[in-house]
Amino acid sequence: MSKPNIIFLNTDQQTWNAISAYGNPCVDTPHIDRIIENGVSFMRSYCTDPVCAPARSSWVTGLYSSETGVPFNGGCMHEDIPDLGQILNANGYNAYQTGKWHVDGRNVRTSFKCLFFGQRPIPAGGAEFYDPVTTRSVLDFLSTYEEDDPFYLQIGLVNPHDVCEYEHSHERKRIPDGVALGLLDDRDLPPLPENFDYDARETVTQIVMRRGKDPLIHKAIMNAADEWTERQWRYLLWQLYRFVEKVDVEIGLILNALAASPFADDTLLLFSVDHGEAAGSHKMIQKFTLYEESIRVPFVVSSLSDQFAFEKNTRDEDHFISGVDLMPTVLDYAGIEIPSHGTGKSVRPLVEGRDTDWRQSAFVESNCWGRALISDRYKLVTEYVPRDGEETIPGPDADRLGLEQLFDLQEDPAETRNLAGDAQYADVLTTLRGQLLATEARLNRRPMCKESGKRTMQAMSQRINAYWQSHPELTAGQYGR
């Protein structure tokens, strides 16, 4: 086969297992299931940072969010970092983007040929308006593309991110109870997540950002949710699944158009999600945390044809995949040299069953100072203690590591028991800390390039440090050391 066409189809804020093909009985996703049935699913796939812009900046650069300059929504990508669209357009591909982009500081029109982007950038919500138009731009494209060069098409669908709009609608009003009104039966609602109750020994970064009456992120909705009944939490999960089914319909239209197009036989299809949605797990909503429901995401390499060298409807349970792997994977299939500055790796050898040297863990960043390292069995969640006025995301620095959480994902996949204070796991913690610091040593961190970003970091660090100072009973390294 000559160079293939490549489509990267992504949804927003879809929990990794909110897919019927992965055994979820509460949601019906026949079209995402079709992608899975025609491809290889990587079941140990993680975003680089559980927020929209940071995760998406990693997709298009092969770098972690601390390297791109986008560690939070509102950051600014460093101008000298080449992105995927620029590389493809310079090397014989026509690179197109349609739908949600959200890579702060990088004008999508300078990197991609845009099919649909809106008069203004597509925001965090509005999937009801944007997703149908995005889908139709794809249908138009597949029925009219006549260029000689192969194409790369990146499709950013917004849903199920509109679950955020449902959540925020609770801030100043009470949403009617669908069961009490007779619109639903209680049996229609998914059960309360098994990890709704959680071990409260969390990191200071997590507590300051997301807990209590004055969290830094989404104070109004977090306070409102604290008063929810069990049924309201279950109704949130029901809403999430309905938004997933909405976006699945759009995906079905795209797959049908691809199957009917001249490109069905020579198009590689990649599917992933920027981050998950908690939907009540750990009594939490949205993302911003380092629990599995926020950071674990689907990653599927697929094709509607049999022209690619992989066994369909298979699942890789062994290899750790990261958001930094998207760009090198695309470039590998496109036959383009992969830049040496990134830490991502092409998953193509894994897809094709070839031996290759691969990472032994997954690494995730969050809220500038939060970190997670996921190994074959155990998961370390930790943090760095901020320094006032710092403008570069910290690490590696063993002396600044703060509180720790340790989970045995084999025995406790719901992450309800923090083992960091148990002496019998001291060696496990030492090993994971070493792996985390070694991973960070390979990263190229740089100061924030935008004054607003620097101010955001300073404001966050001041709040975190104030918590440390007001809780002298806490010491850096507590629980694990």
Q: Give me the pLDDT at residue 174, please.
A: 78
Q: Is the dihedral of CA 63, 381, 438, 469 positive or negative?
A: positive
Specify whether 374 is located in the same domain as 347: no
How is residue 124 written in tokens?
A: 């965090």
Q: Residue 184: inside a domain, yes or no?
A: no
For 367, the domain range is 362-470
Last residue of a domain, one of 301, 332, 351: 351
Last residue of a domain, one of 319, 351, 383: 351
Residue 171 located in a structural domain: no
Residues 6+ apart with CB under 8 A from 470: none
Tokens at 347, concatenated = 């998953």
How far from the centroid of its chain's Cα atoms is residue 254's Cα? 22
For 24, phi and psi rounded to 5 degrees? -85, 115
Domain assignment present for 183: no
Angle at which helices 52-59 and 326-334 pack, to 10 degrees? 30
Which of 193, 205, 236 is CA-nearest to residue 416? 193
Q: Which two tokens stand for residue 136?
A: 């139709």
Indicate whether 266 and 381 sit together in one domain.
Answer: no
In a domain, 190, yes or no: no
Per-residue pLDDT of the chain (481 residues; tens, 9 = 90+): 689 999 999 999 999 999 999 999 999 999 999 999 999 999 999 999 999 999 999 999 999 999 999 999 999 999 999 999 999 999 999 999 999 999 999 999 999 999 998 777 887 789 999 999 999 999 999 999 999 999 999 999 999 999 999 999 888 877 778 898 888 999 999 999 999 999 999 999 999 999 999 999 999 999 999 989 999 999 999 999 999 999 999 999 999 999 999 999 999 999 999 999 999 999 999 999 999 999 999 999 999 999 999 999 999 999 999 999 999 999 999 999 999 888 899 999 999 999 999 999 999 999 999 999 999 999 999 999 999 889 999 999 999 999 999 999 999 999 999 999 999 999 999 999 999 999 999 999 999 988 999 999 999 999 999 999 999 888 755 544 4
Q: Does one domain contain both 140 and 289?
A: yes
Residue found under tokens 């760009």: 327
Cβ atoms within 10 Å of 466's Cβ, excluding its own: 11
Residue 68 domain-assigned?
yes
**Per DSSP, what are the bridge partners of residue 152?**
6, 95
Answer yes or no: is 34 within a domain: yes
The confidence score (pLDDT) of residue 170 equals 87
Distance, CA of 316 to CA of 44 (rounded, Å): 8
Give CA–CA dist 319/360, Å, rounded: 8
Work out whether strand 299-302 and strand 39-42 pair parallel, antiparallel, or are unpaired.
antiparallel
The pLDDT, as a whole number, for residue 478 is 54
CATH code of residue 121: 3.40.720.10
Any bridge partners for residue 374, and if so which? 362, 379
Tell me: cis bond preceding 160? Omega within 30 of 0 counts.
yes
What pLDDT shows up at residue 384?
Answer: 97
- Contact indicator for 380, 404 with CB cutoff of 8 Å: yes
* Same domain (yes/no): 253, 383: no
- With CA atoms as reference, report the closest residue to 280 among 367, 405, 166, 194: 194
Q: How far apart are CA 135 and CA 262, in angstroms?
A: 18
User: Do 22 and 155 belong to one domain?
Assistant: yes
Residues 343 and 372 reside in one and the same domain: no
Supply the pLDDT for residue 477.
54
Q: Is the dihedral of CA 55, 456, 396, 422 positive or negative?
A: negative
Whether 457 maps to a domain, the answer reads yes
Residue type, 268: L
Q: Are residues 322 and 373 in the same domain?
A: no
Residue 193 lies in a domain: no
What tokens does 72 get?
């939070």
**Claim to verify: residue 342 and residue 373 sit in the same structural domain:** no
Whose tokens are 């109704």? That residue is: 235
Q: 83: left (phi > 0), else alpha (psi -120 to 50), else beta?
A: beta
Alpha carbons 366 and 436: distance in angstroms, whole number = 14
Residues 398, 323: one domain? no
Question: The CATH number of the domain where 437 resides is what?
Answer: 3.30.1120.10
pLDDT recorded at residue 481:
45
The last residue of one of the domains, among 351, 376, 391, is 351
Q: Are residues 312 and 433 in the same domain?
A: no
The tokens describing 431, both together, are 């090993």
Q: Are residues 60 and 151 in the same domain?
A: yes
Find residue 363's DSSP bridge partners: 373
